[in-house]
Structure 1
Amino acid sequence: MATRIVHLAQFGKRLGTRAEGKRARAFLEEALAALPEGSVLTADLSGIEVLSGSFADEAIGRFVARLVADDLPYRHFLVRTPTADLVEDLDVKLAQRKLAVLAVVGAGTEWLVLGRVPPYLAEVLAWVIAHGETTSQDLVRGLGISLQNATTRLAKLVRLRLVRVVQGSRPMGGIQRQFYPLTSFNERS
Structure 2
Amino acid sequence: MKVESLGLTGVYLITPDRFDDARGHFSESWNAATLDQHGITLNFVQDNQSYSRKVGTVRGLHYQAPPYAQDKLVRVVQGAIFDVAVDVRQGSVAYGQWAGAELSAENGRQILVPKGFLHGFVTRAPDTIVLYKTSAPYMAEADGAVAFDCPDLAIPWGIAAGDAVLSARDAAAPRTADWHSPFSCTDIERDAA
More helix by share: 1
Determine which structure has greater relative contact order: mean sequence separation of CA pairs < 8 Å that are 6+ residues apart, divided by chain length: 2
More strand by share: 2
TM-score, scaled relative to structure 2: 0.30
